[in-house]
Amino acid sequence: MVAIKAADVDAFIVRPDPARPVVLVFGPDSGLVSERVNALIKASVDDVNDPFALARLESDDLAAEPSRLVEEAQTIPLFGGRRAVWVKAGGRNIASAVEALLAIRGSECRVVIEAGNLARNAPLRALVERAKNAAALPCYADDERARGRLIDDEMREAGLTLAPDARALLLPLLGGDRAASRSEIRKLALYAHGQGRVGVDDVTAVVSDASALALDDIVDAAFAGQTAELEFRLAKARTAGTAPGSIFFAAQRQVAQLHKWRMTIEAGTGFSIDSALPPAQFRRKRLVEAALKLWNATRLVAAMADLADAVLASRRNAALDDIIAERALLAIAVNARRSAA
């Protein structure tokens, strides 16, 4: 088996193994997949814009003509130098074309296959992982440590230093997608260009909280009783590496806001979601209104207590915090559905 461990992928990118010229780059983080593919291609040819040095193939091309991959890999560059083949694996099965390529030993042409998320038993992934002359590079969502390295690398390249409190603020604002995170950090570096040191005010002024909208979607689905939507949103949050603590914080903030608005409604003093303070975003109004119909003030107080208990349990059992958060939000959604019945 020649599957590269996630922790060793960056080292392989920096110094690709010539004994493994065929490389499959795959995973759920499309931004990271693209970044690593481009790094491999740049390291494999002298000029990425030279069509004689770099051949580009789509999965449709290989599905129609599987032998073309071998032909391209064995083509000698017209003007000499190094040659590479860049394959974009789409919905078509290209395993037979790759299998024929792997049967060739001693090839000096680098073949980089760019793919999306592949199950362990996917034919293409299984084929590459079994081959001794190939490598499979998984690209999973960045965790906090990876985001920290990304921040440090980008700040160093920009010639900037990041204040500790600014770094602590920036970390949770970045999601699990490498491309989106790098874009936010570079935007921050451009904003702070020339000042040497990046502070909290700079981060607050520039960086978009890409995870905030996702957290809003989670809590809105929970309090509106949309269990299926909630499960979908929670799965996406897990893939993006969203901290359970962030989910709990968003849920506690939302239940407090709903309770405040619900108390106004029950007091009979008049309430309109359009005039609520703080104002609800337009995209959230429908679900917020649904939640206000499903919950009364008393039940929201009980939900507050349940969330507080769940937060305490997650802190005592850090290894299970994601499961505890998921169960707590699903319990809220189920209670909301019962109210609607």
Q: Judge if 120 and 162 occupy the same domain.
A: no
Classify residue 165: in a domain, yes or no: yes
The residue among 109, 138, 167 that closes a domain is 138
Is the distance from CB of 91 to CB of 121 less than 8 angstroms? no
How many structural domains comprise the chain?
3
Q: At what angle do helices 297-316 and 321-340 cross, to 10 degrees?
A: 160
> How confident is the prediction along the chain (341 residues), in pLDDT tens digits per residue?
456 777 788 888 888 888 999 999 998 888 889 899 999 999 899 888 888 889 999 988 898 899 999 999 998 877 778 899 999 987 788 999 999 999 988 788 999 999 988 888 999 999 999 999 999 999 887 788 888 999 999 999 999 999 998 888 788 778 777 888 888 899 999 999 989 999 887 887 777 654 566 788 899 999 999 999 899 888 878 876 778 888 999 999 999 999 988 888 888 776 666 665 565 555 677 888 889 989 999 999 999 999 999 999 999 998 899 999 999 999 999 999 886 55
Residue ranges making up the domain that contains 299: 211-340
The residue among 122, 138, 154 that closes a domain is 138
Q: Judge if 283 and 228 occupy the same domain.
A: yes
Q: Judge if 12 and 134 occupy the same domain.
A: yes
Q: Judge if 307 and 262 occupy the same domain.
A: yes
Extract the tokens encoding 118. 């592949």
CB count, 10 Å around CB of 150?
A: 17
Q: Give alpha helix (H) positions in the chain.
A: 9-14, 30-44, 59-64, 68-74, 95-102, 123-130, 144-157, 164-170, 178-191, 200-206, 210-223, 227-239, 244-267, 285-294, 297-316, 321-340
CA torsion 297-301-302-307 (nearest 10°) is 130
Residue 327 sits in a domain of what CATH number?
A: 1.20.272.10
Q: Judge if 104 and 45 occupy the same domain.
A: yes
Measured CA to CA, the distance from residue 314 to residue 167 in angstroms comes to 25
Measured CA to CA, the distance from residue 56 to residue 219 in angstroms comes to 44
Residue 71 sits in a domain of what CATH number?
A: 3.40.50.300
Classify residue 63: in a domain, yes or no: yes
CB count, 10 Å around CB of 340?
A: 10
Which helix (H) or strand (E) covers residue 194, if one does?
none
- Three-state secondary-structure class, residue 254: helix
**Selection from 202, 184, 199, 190 nearest residue 157 by Cα:** 190
CA torsion 217-218-220-225 (nearest 10°) is 130
